Amino acid sequence: MNIYRMLPAGYAAGLLFMVLAMPQRMVAQAQQRVVTPNDTLVSPEVSPDHRVTFRIYAPKASEVAITGDWISQGRGTGGNLRKDDQGVWSITVGPLVPDFYSYTLTVDPELLVDFASRSIHETAITAKAMIKAYYNQAPHYSYFTGCSGGGGQALSEAQRFPGDYNGIVAGAPANFPTHMWPGELYAAWVTHRDPANMIPNEKLPLIANAVLAACDSLDGVKDGVIGDPRRCNFDPATIQCPGPDGPNCLTAAQVDSVKKIYAGLKDPATGKLFWYGYERSSELGWPGHINNPFNIPLNYFKYMAFQNPNWDWKTFDFTNPKNFALVSEASKKLGPVLDSTDPDLTPFKKLGGKLIQYHGWIDQNISPLNSISYYESVEKTMGGEKVTQDFYRLFLAPGMGHCGGGAGPNTLDGLSALEQWVEQGKAPDQIIATHATGGKVDRARPLCPYPQVAKYKGTGSTDDPANFVCTSESSKSAK
């Protein structure tokens, strides 16, 4: 989501101007299509060879005066424009190409660059030019917010194009895909090595409940949420069947699968971790990965890594050193284009940029340990915690899944915190996250800047954020 904040003279409230775009390199053509001010959705057609569309909604001055703020949400797929009861617009964009990660990414390296990073950058350039022409002034503040693939794009912007945005929110970022996608496929491979290794969906609650029974109280509050899963050493062998298979226990083969999924993908020759395993207490989110492969990592191997649409993942043994060497080679080849892992954010910091990153502890798609690893690499590169937290803060959400969902507080407003940081100089010492059931908030908890954690004061409701305090008692190397 790209958000451009305007502060036009005569308006007490600001305008949040949103632009979302598909990869596009013909910026000049897109600009030329907006000849005169237009109060409707503008969708310039760009090069058909690259299947590009650019969408921008320009609110009328009368609407701006009434509603003040405009907020847009973007996702990787879809394609609609809607307005809610409060007059807030939400825009989603269409798929990158007709078939996600199709052969065109293989035969056209330029499109791969568009997909990975350049599209967002050129969107910013074009959008700012359109805004200036339409409102006769440039935006005062520009923001970007995204989660998952959008979170990866957010970090790419901070690293590759530090001048595009004043502030960035990066949620559960997919910023290391050449390691993440093999790691995702590995989980499916683990359970498909042999029919005996498959973990039935019906047994996932059994595992999750056993994890909570063993570790829920480690954070001082027994509430169905584990504050820091790295501190949990639950061993699935404790629920192994003493005899034949049954509904309330795991077979030896199933225990082996769970252990491997927790452990993550490793180089079979060196034992070095290539991608993180799933956190304990994330088990209810496993079905989309262990039953059949998620389509994105599968297509990464077919169309990017091996350039073979007929490649069969079931015949690929991740424990074979020669096979794993191919995975590593693909990462080295594609990483400079696809990955956004540069820890040197000096240019972004010098320009006054602010970055808020968040991640759910039970994310079943992208490991929260990846966010921790990237943050700590930035800390090391930039000169320590204090220097880093002057412009970049990471917030981890216990009990939150991928970009939301889960038993813990899983909804947060990172954008408002970012605006206060950028425009008022007020750094977020905590961000309140909420959980709702049936549309009614029933739990709230403060999220603290890593490495701090929220600690219960000992009295009052554990669903009230006022009864928690951020503390640094948790070690960074908890696992």
Contact indicator for 143, 45 with CB cutoff of 8 Å: no
Identify which of 282, 297, 275 has the alpha carbon closest to the alpha carbon of residue 401: 282
Contact indicator for 14, 69 with CB cutoff of 8 Å: yes
Give the C-alpha separation, 59 to 361, whole Å.
Answer: 38
Give the C-alpha separation, 173 to 319, whole Å.
Answer: 27
Concerning whether 402 is annotated as a catalytic residue, the answer is yes
Q: Which one is catalytic: 216, 256, 363, 371?
A: 363
Concerning whether 340 is annotated as a catalytic residue, the answer is no
Contact indicator for 101, 300 with CB cutoff of 8 Å: yes
Give the C-alpha separation, 293 to 142, whole Å.
Answer: 37
Q: Which one is catalytic: 119, 402, 435, 474?
A: 402
Q: Which helix (H) or strand (E) holds 419?
A: helix 414-424
Give the C-alpha separation, 321 to 333, whole Å.
Answer: 18
Identify which of 122, 120, 226, 97 has the alpha carbon closest to the alpha carbon of residue 175: 120
Concerning whether 148 is annotated as a catalytic residue, the answer is yes
Q: Which one is catalytic: 72, 102, 148, 282?
A: 148
**Buried-state track 368-381, b at ≥16 Cβ within 10 A, e below 16:** bbbbbebbbebbee
Residues labelled catalytic: 148, 363, 402
